Amino acid sequence: ARKIIIDTDPGQDDALAILLAFASPELDVLGITAVAGNVPLALTEVNARKISELAGRSDTRVFAGADRPLMRPLITAEHVHGKTGLDGPDLPEPSMPLQDQHAVDFIIETLRSEPAGTVTLCVLGPLTNIAHVLLRAPELAPRIKEIVLMGGGFFEGGNITPTAEFNIYVDPQAAQIVLQSGVPIVILPLDVTHQALTTAKRIDRFRALGTRCGDASVALLEFFERFDEEKYGSDGGPLHDPNVIAYLLKPELYTGRHCNVEVDAANELTFGMTVVDWWGITDRPKNAFYIRNVDSDGFFELLTTRIATLP
């Protein structure tokens, strides 16, 4: 199985991504590393453990990482995710432990001990933890198989400012460090996730599972989509983070292009914007595989049928 570390700030959509990973025998989740993002770290690390227990995977190692971005104060998104970050389902307080080791140390140690080119980092939140790894141990960059991340947006615009997507906006310096690391990078931006809408019909399929994880998925999705439904009157909200895991499982659901992606961290109006050289206008290096489209029916089919295998 492909070895992955999930770096995350759960988050309802993060939760669905973690469930999808647990439900997929092709993936070996070496650990979950929490970062501050949607809500502060003290909540995201608890949420990561709640989800692990929900899936019956209390043996998972969960680590706490950075509690703030590299150079800026933390910005959170309770307006989307609720006070706990995981509002919606009624999940018990976790009884599995948080690991003592810092998330950044865990990632570094894992990259050193696993064979080079075998560990994939799946990043579902701000890129702070990963930037710390690359700053502290730059020699490890060539040992990372791939970084697959949800973040950014270009054709669709932003979701936290008109030009910036939340994960990148929270820590643009970290994002830029990752983009310049030379590690193979796959980006699943808003341009893609806005095609994966949680319509009533799609949520009904989770309800029909009649399982604990199916019911929790319904509660997570119904809470999460209310933000977009109320604000934009859409049928369902965009489901972001599970696209990272779905891409690993079924890349044929996605199309994109190798191109240059840079993050602006200098200008007020475009602060945190991912600038994508889709048309190859510059000769800047093609540092990322930027995904543009998803087969959304195929994506939800995968998500539902996999989560159906969980308790």
Our finding on whether 124 is near ligand BDR (CB under 6 A) is yes
Strands (DSSP E) contained in the chain are 2-8, 27-34, 62-64, 119-123, 144-150, 185-188, 254-263, 274-277, 288-294
Distance of CA 8 to the CA centre of its chain: 6
Pairing of strands 185-188, 144-150: parallel
Residues 140-169 that bind ligand BDR (CB under 6 A): 150, 159, 165-167
Q: Which of 81, 132, 194, 240 is catalytic?
A: 240
Give per-residue burial for 172-203: e unless 16+ CB within 10 Å, then b.
bbbbbbbbebebbbbbbbbbbbbbbbbeeebb
240 is known as an active-site residue: yes
Our finding on whether 125 is near Ca ion (CB under 5 A) is yes
CB 28 → ligand BDR: shortest distance, Å?
22
Question: Sign of dihedral through CA atoms 39, 22, 296, 202?
Answer: negative
Our finding on whether 87 is near ligand BDR (CB under 6 A) is no
Identify the residue among 4, 11, 51, 64 touching ligand BDR (CB under 6 A).
Answer: 11
Identify the residue among 5, 6, 14, 168 touching Ca ion (CB under 5 A).
Answer: 14
Residues facing residue 123 across a β-bridge: 7, 149
Distance CA 124, CA 104 (A): 15
- Residue 246's H or E segment, with its range, is helix 242-249
Residues 234-253 that bind Ca ion (CB under 5 A): 241
**Residue 176-215 contact track with ligand BDR, rule CB under 6 A, x = bound:** ----------------------------------------
The number of residues that bind ligand BDR (CB under 6 A) is 15
Question: Sign of dihedral through CA atoms 47, 238, 298, 7?
Answer: negative
Q: Which positions lie near ligand BDR, rule CB under 6 A?
A: 11, 13-14, 38, 77, 80, 124-125, 150, 159, 165-167, 240-241
**Looking at the annotation, which residues are catalytic?**
240
Q: Which positions lie near Ca ion, rule CB under 5 A?
A: 9, 11, 14, 124-125, 241
